[in-house]
Every structure is written in structure tokens, then in C-alpha cells.
Amino acid sequence: MRTVLLCLLPICASFAAETVPTTAVAGGVRLKDLCEIDGVRANQLNGIGIVVGLPGTGDKSAATLRMLKQMLDKKKLSFSELDLASKNVAMVAVTADFPAFARPGNRLTNTQISCIGDATSLKGGVLMQTSLEGADGIIYAVGQGPVSIGGFGSAGPANAGGGSPHANLETVALLTQGPLVERPFPAELLTDNQLKIKLRRPDFTTASRVVHALREAFPGFAVTATDAELVTLSFAAPDGQVPDSTAVVAAIDKLQQLRVDPDILARVVINSRTGTVVAGQHVTISPVAVSHGGLSLRIQPKQVQVNGKPAITWKDPVTNLTSPTGPNGTRVVMVPGTMSVLEGATVEEIANGLNALGARPRDLVAIFQAIHSAGALNAELIEM
């Protein structure tokens, strides 16, 4: 077995000193990508409808026929359930998202049609006119038309003789032409003449930096941070008048282009099923030793030079005696399958070293889980 000794030096700081971010931070992130405007949001719509024109793949239950009869009764067409007995209709749930600022006449996109009864396929069906309501029970959109369940057949290059057969789920479909908007959702950008900005990832440091950037970009405006998520920009005029909507839109455009450096938590995300390990830039490892199968990992305190001489780096836990190096038997020796790193080494360095030793993905996951359990992983561990 080949002897491998890897000494991973601590990472040098990428920035000499942290500066307060301003509107001119070149490497920052736009507020448009960090924040949301309170009141600018989508709303959910839903409705129950009937799909007709199915080739014998519809519902077998009597409830669907009763619903179809009720829909025809509203059109002053009287039929008995026996007259409507057919396997060509299906009861479906219709769901869609109503985007912010949608106006009457706009069409909604990505409208889902899903079977409620025991229909086996919606292929070739047509949705009858269906009203879509919000959570308040008011109708905001109406949809009808052909439904699509996606492709069937063989997928692959034409010169390869076809390809692998595929078929989409036939009990779920999309409305080919989205529902028409009948009325807009009420939306207000300002609340008490204040524009409220919400961070997508609440963080006190990031909120403080956002406040600093807004105060530089909007001198004379009152900017406050309510908590780690909410920042308010006040448009209150001395005479109490409501600001012009054009000025509010222009201010939103300006603030969304501002750049701020968000603060990131030290976090390690691992997926034990795929062996994936993703770590942030602030993750470090404290002194710890791990043994896993034929691999052994030892992370030691970093040795510091003072006036050209090694400083005291070892302390006996019982006698409290100190020395530049530990006694025999506690120092790192070159043995097969051993890796030695320094305190403060990052997850990236450790992963690279373990990969060089031939560790498999599931070995990496097991080792990082053990390091976290020992309290030596200075970060939040998230397991997927």
C-alpha cells in the first residue's frame, strides 16, 4: 500500500479587511435578487370543471354525471343522468397561479388539470368553461379549451432507429391556452406611505447592509430595519400627501439595482443517497481525529512561529504541561492511509485530501457526519 501524507495549509484570507458595502460594490448582489417588495406576490386560484371528448377513458362514477347535469341546467338545458351516461367525461381540478399585476384580458400560464375521479386518461379532452376562484371565494379567471398531456412514442435520434419509449402521466394535463383574467387582485405597493422590502433569506447582517445601501442611495428618506427580514423605506411627505405612483415605481427600479454583499451562514449540505457534499466558504474544522474503514483523518492545531521559533502548540490534558510538539506517540507519523491537516482547514481541503486517498462519496458523507457529531464541524449540517 502506498504511503500518502498530505499536509494542507490553512487558507489565507481572501479579503484583507471587511468593508461596509455601498452602492458601488462591484461584486455584490442586486437587491432585486435578494429581496421582495411586500405586496408584490402571486395568488393561487382553483376550480372544479368537466373535461369532455375523451375516447372512453372518462369517469365511471355517477358524481361526474350529476355535475355535468348541473352545468347543463345552468344553461337551461334539461337532461336526465341516463341521457348523459357516458365514459367520455371526467371531473377535474383546475389550479393556476395568478401573478402580481395581471390585468383583465391577460392569460394565465401553467394551468394544471388533474383527474378527481377514476378516469384513466385525459388525452384528447377539452375543458368546459370553468371559473377559477381565489381564497376569498371571488372569481378572478375563467378557462376552457383543449388539454395537453405531453408527448408519447419513442424519444431519441432519428438516425438511431427511434429511441426509448416514453409516456407522460395521462391523468394530469395542462390547459393549452391559459384562463382569461376577469378581474385583478387588489395590490398596494405602499402601506402607510412606506415601501416594505423583505429579504428572501432573513439575516441581521444582510439587513443592516441593505439599510446602509438604501440610506446612501436615498438621502433624506427614512430607512429602518424592523428585524432580520423586513426593511422599510418611508415616502411620507411633510403635508401627508400620498406620493405619485410614478415616483414610487422609479424608486423601486433604483433600489432593485443597488448591490449589497449578503452575509452567508457557514453551512454544509450533504446528500447521503448521492454522496454529494456542498460546503460554504466560511466552514472550518476544529482539531479532531476520525477513523473510517481503511482511512484515517487527523486534524491538528496549527503551529505558530514566534520570533522564528515554534510557539507552544501542545498541552497535556492531565498535567497541563506545554511544549512546541507533543511527546512521542502523539505526533503524526507516515503510515499508509493517513492524512494530516492543520486546524482551520476547510471542508474543501479535507474533501480534496480524502479524494486523493481514494475515498468514495459515501465515505466523505460518513466522515463529515462523524466530524459534526464530535462538535468539530464549525457549521450547520443539513442532511438531505
CB 207 within 8 A of CB 198: no
Residue with cell 464541524: 377
Residue that finishes a domain, picked among 230, 260, 290: 260
Check whether residue 79 and residue 175 sit in a common domain: yes
How far apart CA 356 and CA 339 sit, in angstroms, is 10
Strand partners, 279: 268
| Residue 175 grid cell | 390547459
> Is 252 a domain residue?
yes
Does one domain contain both 235 and 317?
no
Look-up of cell digits 477513523: 291
133 and 201 both lie in a single domain = no
Cell numbers for 300, please give them.
491538528
Please report the pLDDT score of residue 371 as a whole number: 81
Same domain, 70 and 118: yes
The 10s digit of each residue's pLDDT in 142-160 is 999 999 987 655 555 555 5
Instruction: Show which of 142, 157, 181 is a domain's final residue.
Output: 181
Residues 235 and 301 grouped into a single domain: no
pLDDT at 28: 85
Integer Cα distance of 245 and 239 in angstroms: 17
pLDDT of residue 176: 92
Angle at 50 between CA 48 and CA 53, to 5 degrees: 160
Q: Which residues pair with 47 in a beta bridge?
A: 94
- Buried b or exposed e, range 313-326, using 16+ CB within 10 angstroms: bbeeeeeeeeeeeb
Q: Are 232 and 37 in contact (CB under 8 A)?
A: no
| Ranges of residues in the chain whose predicted pLDDT is under 50 | 1-25, 329, 332-337
Contacting residues for 186 by C-beta, under 8 A, at least 6 apart: none
> Residue 221 burial by CB count (10 A; 0-12/13-18/19+): exposed, middle or buried?
middle
Residue at 19 is within a domain:
no
Q: Is residue 107 part of a domain?
A: yes
| C-alpha span between 312 and 153 (Å, rounded) | 72
Please say which residue of 241, 260, 279 terminates a domain: 260
Same-domain status, 223 and 285: no
pTM of the complete model beyond 0.75: no
Separation between Cα atoms, residue 37 and residue 190, nearest integer Å: 10
Are 334 and 279 within one domain?
A: yes
Q: Is residue 323 located within the same domain as residue 240?
A: no
Residue 214 placed within a domain:
yes
Q: Is residue 2 situated within a structural domain?
A: no
**241 and 141 inside one domain:** no
Q: How many domains does the chain have?
A: 3
Quote the domain boundaries for residue 151. Answer: 43-181
The rounded distance, in Å, linking the Cα atoms of 72 and 86 is: 15
Query: Is residue 200 classed as helix, strand or coil in its secondary structure?
Result: coil
Do 214 and 336 belong to one domain? no
C-alpha triplet 212, 218, 220: angle, nearest 5°: 105
94 forms beta bridges with 47, 113
Q: Does residue 221 sit in the same domain as residue 293?
A: no
| 16 in any annotated domain | no
How far, in Å, CA of 194 to CA of 142, rounded?
A: 34
pLDDT of the residue at 216 = 92
Cell of 168: 407522460
Q: Is residue 1 part of a domain?
A: no
Termini Cα distance of the chain: 35
| 299 shares a domain with 195 | no
Grid cell in block for residue 156: 431519441
Tell me: the pLDDT tens digits for 231-286? 999 886 655 566 788 888 898 999 999 999 998 888 888 877 777 778 777 787 77
CATH number reported for the structural domain that contains residue 236 in this entry: 3.30.1360
Residue 90's DSSP bridge partners are 51
- Residue 84 located in a structural domain: yes
